[in-house]
Amino acid sequence: MKAPHITQARTTSALLYLSGVTVSFDGFKALNNLSLLVEPGEMRAIIGPNGAGKTTMMDVVTGKTRPDEGEVVFDGHADLTKLDEADIATLGIGRKFQKPTVFENHTVRDNLLLALAGQRSWYRLLLATPTADENRRLDEILAIIRMEPQQHMLGARLSHGQKQWLEIGMLLAQDPKLLLVDEPVAGMTDVETETTAQVLKEINRTHSVVVVEHDMSFVRALGVKVTVLHEGSMLAEGSLDQVSADPRVVEVYLGR
Amino acid sequence: MITRFLWQGMDRNLRLFILLVLAIGILLPLSNQLLPVGSAFRAPSWVLQLVGKYLCYASLALAVDLVWGFCGILTLGHAAFFALGGYCMGMYLMRQIGTRGVYGNPLLPDFMVFLGYKELPWFWHGFDHFWFAAVMIVLVPSLLALALGWFAFRSRVTGVYLSIITQAMTFALLLAFFRNDMGLGGNNGMTDFKDILGFSVQSDTTRAMLCFTSALVLAIFLVIAAAVVGSRFGKALTAVRDAESRMRFLGYRVEGYKLFVFVLSAAMAGIAGALYVPQVGIINPSEFAPGNSIEAVLWVAVGGRGTLIGPVIGAFIVNFGKTYLTGALPEVWLFALGALFIVVTLLLPKGVVGLWNQLNSRSRERRARAVA
């Protein structure tokens, strides 16, 4: 793995460190001097009204968007503003999109194989076959997401719920240090929402997680520290009860 | 390891199909050579020439399908790679003429004498040798594809913008090759070929060999393409086609994947073009015409995009139609081509092969229901 922008000394104990990050699109500041710290092993919920900059923040962390100003440091030493998506993913940041995106023309097993941590270079993959070790990992993950019977089914033929499960399986296969999850319960029933909260807590035992979500009952079910974004900056931070008692948060969410 | 690589993408249908291609490539030339003239089973020379030409088109279609069908890059300039391979072969064939040209100049081909060249341009050196021309046939299209792909894929040019760039590339080459001072025959191109590897290009034996070689090359391309798309690389490639940004966030460097198939495909197109030229006996700038590249995409669409058999079948169907219609009803051909494009887009999104699969699975279901 090449890691051109990794300096030796650790500058922060935080797993993810954002300081003074500003992103503007044609003069509109999607992020305005945003600072944020996520500790190793932490699960953090990020809430905020539409246009608060939640998705832009994820884009900056995963290398899709370059910030105009500010620092973004992962694991204390990797400068994410200098790396591209592939480098950042290889460093150990996974991203789950709002809409489940599985590879529709691939089987469930091949979806997991593509996500499996390890082989990424095109010339090695020309000759590679899945190793015994990789097959064992795939079997394990298929068991965890309870999709062994569907493993040879094409992604396109899965139900919405099955796609969500497969995507979670793909994230497990990718085994990132930090997982960014974008609105995981949009369009879900109450029961599914509850199950997803359980699954995220389960994943949080071994991975750090940042969840962006609108659904307050879901955030409550997670029971973790909450960051409120508004107009590209951090408005408040604390437990859900603390931030919902904050008059500024109430104003932003309910309007004057 | 290499044999495993080459066999990994093969299924039964494809193996049968490759055997069919080889059977055509062996039986037609053999019948021409061994059976007496007048026998009902003897393929006349013009059939060999026609089939040989179609086989080259089929190789070009397969090359287009590799990038469009399996990687989602809609190339509208692939005929340029085909023509470049053809020009390299044309240059070799020109050098074989020697003193048998109209002007009988031992150093310069006829068109250079005609245009008043004093000496051979530098880039013509080496083309006296077949091995050199063979290397160039692969190298020239590959390097152009490498340069274009390197800049386009790194700058993340995708979709219709990439299509326009490829179209502009072939158009630029068309204009360049039209110029007399390119040193490649200008408007008229190169023709009047005499020998290839010491055999007369006009003789039936050479025609038979060229037809056979075209079939062999197509068969080899099918094996290579099957191996590539059947590998883990191929799985990643189709995943790039279906959800490119998802692949990036999984840590794949998408550019490398695109560049590899693009260059491989350009090399295949170049070889197909090189085999095409001695069979039609001429290479000129009209091979770069944008319409040619678009037609190649149409062959793939008709046969079935994203399948390996489809482009071959599509190339044969459309070109057979073209040969027939341009002879019987020349004014109708362009309308037929346009109509075909509309019909395929609206009614047969997966082409002939897709239709075949659909009918097959439907009759299988019916049979299953009849049993139950």
**Structurally, how many domains does chain B consist of?**
1
Asked whether residue B121 is assigned to any structural domain, the reply reads yes
State the residue range of the domain holding B61: 2-289
Asked whether residue B31 is assigned to any structural domain, the reply reads yes
Asked whether residue B317 is assigned to any structural domain, the reply reads no
Instruction: Using a CB–CB cutoff of 8 Å, tell me whether A97 touches chain B.
Output: yes
Asked whether residue B324 is assigned to any structural domain, the reply reads no
Per 3-state DSSP, chain B is made up of helix, strand and coil in percentages (nearest 5) of 75, 0, 25
Asked whether residue B312 is assigned to any structural domain, the reply reads no
Q: Which residues of B touch A110 (CB under 8 A)?
A: 235
Q: Specify the range with the lowest mean pLDDT, choosing from A120-134, B326-340, B357-371.
A: B357-371
* Cβ atoms of residues A23 and A67 within 8 Å: yes
Confidence grade of residue B266 (pLDDT, cut at 50, 70, 90): very high
- Inter-chain CB proximity A86 and B246 less than 8 Å: no
Q: Specify the pLDDT at position B138.
A: 98
Asked whether residue B305 is assigned to any structural domain, the reply reads no
What interface predicted TM-score (ipTM) does this complex get? 0.87
CA A45 to chain centre: 11
pLDDT surpasses 90 at B19: yes
Q: For chain A, which residues score pLDDT lower than 50?
A: 1-4, 256
Instruction: Give the C-alpha separation, A212 to A223, whole Å.
Output: 14
CA proximity to A174, closest of A143, A203, A152: A203
Maximum average pLDDT range among A1-10, A123-132, B304-313, B339-348:
B304-313
Asked whether residue B368 is assigned to any structural domain, the reply reads no
Instruction: Give the C-alpha separation, B43 to B29, whole Å.
Output: 7
Q: Specify the pLDDT at position B372.
A: 63
How far CA B150 is from CA of A31, A227, B363, in Å, comes to 33, 42, 47
Quick: pLDDT tens for B222-244: 999 999 999 999 999 999 999 99
Q: Which residues of B touch A121 (CB under 8 A)?
A: 253, 256
Q: Specify the pLDDT at position A254.
A: 67
Nearest to A104 among B231, B232, B242 (CB): B242
- Inter-chain CB proximity A125 and B236 less than 8 Å: yes
- Inter-chain CB proximity B231 and A89 less than 8 Å: no
- Inter-chain CB proximity A106 and B246 less than 8 Å: no
Q: Which residues of B touch A94 (CB under 8 A)?
A: 249
Q: Per-residue pLDDT averaged across B87-97, rounded?
A: 96
Asked whether residue B104 is assigned to any structural domain, the reply reads yes
Which residue blocks in A47-184 are alpha helix, DSSP H?
Answer: 54-61, 85-91, 108-115, 122-125, 132-144, 160-174
Sign for the pseudo-dihedral over CA of A205, A209, A213, A216: positive
User: Helix, strand, or coil here: A29?
Assistant: strand
Q: Which residue of B has its CA nearest to A115?
A: B250
* pTM exceeds 0.95, yes or no: no
Q: Specify the pLDDT at position B15.
A: 93
User: Helix, strand, or coil here: B243?
Assistant: coil
| Among A90, A127, A134, the residue to mutate for chain B (most B Cβ within 10 A) | A127
